[in-house]
Structure 1
């Protein structure tokens, strides 16, 4: 979802997409798709990209913006835990940025996605994963906006009986990947710089979800309280361009 900036060198070290078939897990607004396109243009690579998301609402704008950047661009609505439209041992590189925690909102579904990644990767194929660190694994005072925003989003999701993101600790993710057969696993933790406007837009979207369905809570004070918390946090960051968030990258081979 978010654009990788501070750990860009580690992410791309030893990676070539020239003549390769690449799967992007989680299209969203196309931020990672933009990043891949930039690398392709800078290196003169010819790359085929399949970009997958459960939400197709941004596909048209992504295709309009980037279709000429790729040798072939396919945007596909699907769940990453079921990629039956992609053949076994056919993909060279999988790039999954800030998406597994979304898949993991349903218990064990991230494991199913990782199994699918392993299935479709060619022997020797590369898997690149970037994820936010779980909120309980860091000192929240070091990431005040990120921490407050994440807690409000999750709380609203619970109140509305909506599934919410479940961040995965990197050690746990490494263990699962190793169990599934991935090898040469490398990890780097870092402080990421997040675009404040995009992050605030997602927060405001959750607030609108709460307001539109406030009757089913049957507690006007609870609804107003969360709306107030959200609006204060949005207001506090309306003039900010970016904020920090703890994240990590895991790279592995099949």
Structure 2
């Protein structure tokens, strides 16, 4: 969902999308879609891009913006753990930018998704994954905002009986890739620069879910408390362009 800034060189190193079919796992608001399209246009690559997301609410907006500059984009609604609409060994490169923690909302589903990505990739096809590092310590001072934001978002989801993002430690994700059959696995950890506007936009979206959704706990004090926490955190970072968050990139081959 967020831009790849700090580790962009490592991410794109050795990646040539010319005459390739690329699958983006997790379209969301189209931020990574735009990054990929810009990279294709910059290099004058002939590339077909398929972008898949379980939520198609932003598809029209993305298509309207990109259709004049790039006409090989196909947006498809679907679950990454069940890509039955994509043929075996038909994809050259898979890019998942902050997607696996979303898939991992449901226990073990990330393994099903990795298995599907392995299936659709061609022999020697490449898999690129960017993910958030799990943050559990409330005493974390280096990533204070990111830690608070993550805990508030997850707490709201729990209050509303909704699944929430589950970040994966890189060594656990590496082991999962090996189980599925991937090889030549590389990993790099880094501090990512997160766009503050996008991050607070998502936080505010969660607040609206809290206010408008049903509440079977039936406790207005709890709801008001989390609304207050959310608004205070958003206000604190008004005018901030970006902040740091821990992340990592994994590259693998089929």
Q: Structures share a fold, TM > 0.5?
A: yes
Q: Which residue of 2 aligns with 1:230?
A: 230
How many angstroms apart in 1 are the aligned matches of 2:127 and 2:68? 25
How many angstroms apart in 2 are the aligned matches of 1:238 and 1:221? 26
1:137 Cα offset (Å)? 7.7
How many angstroms apart in 2 are the aligned matches of 1:215 and 1:172? 34
How many angstroms apart in 2 are the aligned matches of 1:249 and 1:240? 25
1:71-91 deviation line (CA, Å, top 9, x unaligned): 521100001000001110110
Preserved CA contact (<8 Å) 2:26 2:53:
yes
1:213 Cα offset (Å)? 2.9
How many angstroms apart in 1 are the aligned matches of 2:35 and 2:139? 29
1:169-222 deviation line (CA, Å, top 9, x unaligned): 000000010111100000000000111111101111111111113653311111
Question: Are residues 215 and 173 of structure 1, via their aligned partners in 2, closer, same or farther at CA, if it must alter by over 3 Å?
Answer: closer
Question: Are residues 180 and 214 of structure 1, via their aligned partners in 2, closer, same or farther at CA, if it must alter by over 3 Å?
Answer: closer
Please list every run of 5 or more consecutive structure 2 residues that lacks an aligned counterpart in the other structure: none
The answer to whether structure 1 residue 77 and structure 2 residue 52 are counterparts is: no
Larger mean CA deviation between 66-75 and 196-205 belongs to 66-75
Preserved CA contact (<8 Å) 2:54 2:79:
yes
Q: Which residue of 1 aligns with 2:6?
A: 6
Question: Are residues 209 and 83 of structure 1, via their aligned partners in 2, closer, same or farther at CA, if it must alter by over 3 Å?
Answer: same
Q: Which residues in structure 2 correspond to 1:115-154 (within 5 Å)? A: 115-136=115-136, 140-154=140-154
The answer to whether structure 1 residue 190 and structure 2 residue 187 are counterparts is: no
Is the partner of 1:147 in helix, strand or coil?
helix
Q: Which residue of 2 aligns with 1:112?
A: 112
Larger mean CA deviation between 61-70 and 177-186 belongs to 61-70
TM-score in terms of structure 2 length? 0.97
Is the partner of 1:55 in helix, strand or coil?
coil
Normalized per residue, the structure richer in helix is: 1
Preserved CA contact (<8 Å) 2:136 2:147:
no
RMSD: 1.3
1:53-94 deviation line (CA, Å, top 9, x unaligned): 011011011111123444521100001000001110110000
How many angstroms apart in 1 are the aligned matches of 2:112 and 2:81? 5
TM-score in terms of structure 1 length? 0.97
How many angstroms apart in 2 are the aligned matches of 1:173 and 1:239? 35
Is the partner of 1:217 in helix, strand or coil?
coil
Question: Are residues 166 and 187 of structure 1, via their aligned partners in 2, closer, same or farther at CA, if it must alter by over 3 Å?
Answer: same
Q: Which residue of 1 aligns with 2:91?
A: 91
Is the partner of 1:86 in helix, strand or coil?
coil
1:123 Cα offset (Å)? 0.2
Q: Which residue of 2 aligns with 1:205?
A: 205
Larger mean CA deviation between 214-223 and 42-51 belongs to 214-223
